[in-house]
Structure 1
Amino acid sequence: MKGNELQFDRTCHVLYSKPCKRQIQGKIALHYPPEQREEIWERVQRQYIGYLSDWRTDLGGTKNFHNGVGGTYDCIALMSYYTVCKTVTCLAEIEEMEGELFLPAFRKMTFVDCNKPFWKRTIYQAFASSKKKCDRWGDYQMSVAPYEKDKPIYYEFTACPVAEFAKRHDLLEVMPALCNPDYAGMELIHARLVRTMTCSNGCKCDYTICGDRDEYAKAHPEYIDEAGYRRNKA
């Protein structure tokens, strides 16, 4: 089926992005013989619209920046792929796919260096701007600590639609693959993310961000927990 033929409420939901479609179809081609690929892709599409059939209708549709490439709806599409193709895929593959969707914007910003005061403040301002957009839509409940030049940036989410979706559909096992690319994104701008929990394995998703030469990161070493999350020691 073509994307414009899928039956879901487009006044409140959006179709997965074109880059997401390419990622999923590419992995289907990797795992299945040619004669099965169209059938598998259609099953993924049907799973996607099935998931949207009883999903929240208040996430802003195309107006909400969180619903773009690598965002909320692409994550639902990746979970649709995982559901249909669980016997052939793995969490490492899902993380790779989300990274290919989420990270291109950061790869264009390799000139940014969060060790430098100018860029640290600029990144903080970007997070503060994101909070205003979150407040508008009420999807990600976000708070941002006041800026302090000698301390790391701190913000947190206490609600995340992707984590909410995963909990509802018993897909929490996929969440490390969708959360971990946050670390890679920060590394591309010479920063370090220090995070002890997420909305999917705790009560909040905490983001402490410092330069990659900052002693703060060294004091909170990273590890991978038993579920596959990249995390830091408190």
Structure 2
Amino acid sequence: AAFMDNPFIRKVMSSIDFNRETDMKKFAERMHKAEEWAEAHPEYQDKTWDFHFDEKRHKDGFYYHFTRCPLEKFAREHGYLNLLPLCCDIDHIAVERNKGVLHREQTLATGGAICDYWFVGNQTKNPS
């Protein structure tokens, strides 16, 4: 977690509190902008994620998934699949640093068909 303790990373990562509705919306907007960028730059299609948003899947928080991950592609092509789950674990650490919980059912790294992300604030009781 030394990487996450880097002053620059701490500053960037601490700008969101997943318990605040405005911050959750800001985060969702960032992710939608990433999708818009990817769609506007098809030449990078194989080098970025393909976002699939579903605002109705859960009552609480924010959800999306993707079926293409450049990290997974690189790891598969170069024999680093055993290290890939560590990269995915960083997602949980980053969300925890922002007062959130990341719920996940599967990742491409562990053989799933998708990488799913459901973010809720860490004060959310019985998220649904």
Structural mapping, 1:70-149, within 5 Å: 96=1, 100=3, 107-108=10-11, 109-110=13-14, 112-135=16-39, 136=41, 137-138=44-45, 139-146=48-55
Whichever of the two has the greater Rg, that structure is: 1
Read off the aligned partner of 1:131 and give its amino acid letter.
E
Change (3 A) 1:200 1:159: same
Task: Work out which of the residue numbers 72, 79, 86 in structure 2 matches 1:170.
Answer: 79
Counterpart Cα distance in 2 of 1:156 and 1:104: 29
Change (3 A) 1:207 1:105: farther
State whether residues 115 and 213 of structure 1, in contact with CA within 8 Å, keep that contact through their aligned partners in structure 2.
Answer: yes
Structure 2 regions of 5+ residues with no counterpart?
Answer: none
Change (3 A) 1:168 1:149: closer
State whether residues 57 and 63 of structure 2, in contact with CA within 8 Å, keep that contact through their aligned partners in structure 1.
Answer: no
Change (3 A) 1:104 1:165: farther
State whether residues 115 and 190 of structure 1, in contact with CA within 8 Å, keep that contact through their aligned partners in structure 2.
Answer: yes
Task: Work out which of the residue numbers 98, 101, 118 in structure 2 matches 1:208.
Answer: 118
State whether residues 145 and 154 of structure 1, in contact with CA within 8 Å, keep that contact through their aligned partners in structure 2.
Answer: yes
Change (3 A) 1:118 1:152: same
What percent identity do the matched residue pairs reach? 23
- What's the TM-score, normalizing by structure 2? 0.78
State whether residues 3 and 9 of structure 2, in contact with CA within 8 Å, keep that contact through their aligned partners in structure 1.
Answer: no
State whether residues 156 and 204 of structure 1, in contact with CA within 8 Å, keep that contact through their aligned partners in structure 2.
Answer: yes
> What's the RMSD between the two structures over aligned residues?
2.8
Task: Give how far 1:150 is off.
Answer: 4.4
Task: Work out which of the residue numbers 62, 69, 87 in structure 2 matches 1:153.
Answer: 62
Read off the aligned partner of 1:197 and give its amino acid letter.
Q
Change (3 A) 1:184 1:161: same
Structure 1 regions of 5+ residues with no counterpart?
Answer: 1-95, 220-234
Read off the aligned partner of 2:120 and give its amino acid letter.
C
Change (3 A) 1:105 1:194: farther
- What's the TM-score, normalizing by structure 1? 0.45
Kindly tell me the number of residue pairs found equivalent between the two proteins: 121
Which residue of the partner structure matches residue 187 of structure 1? 96
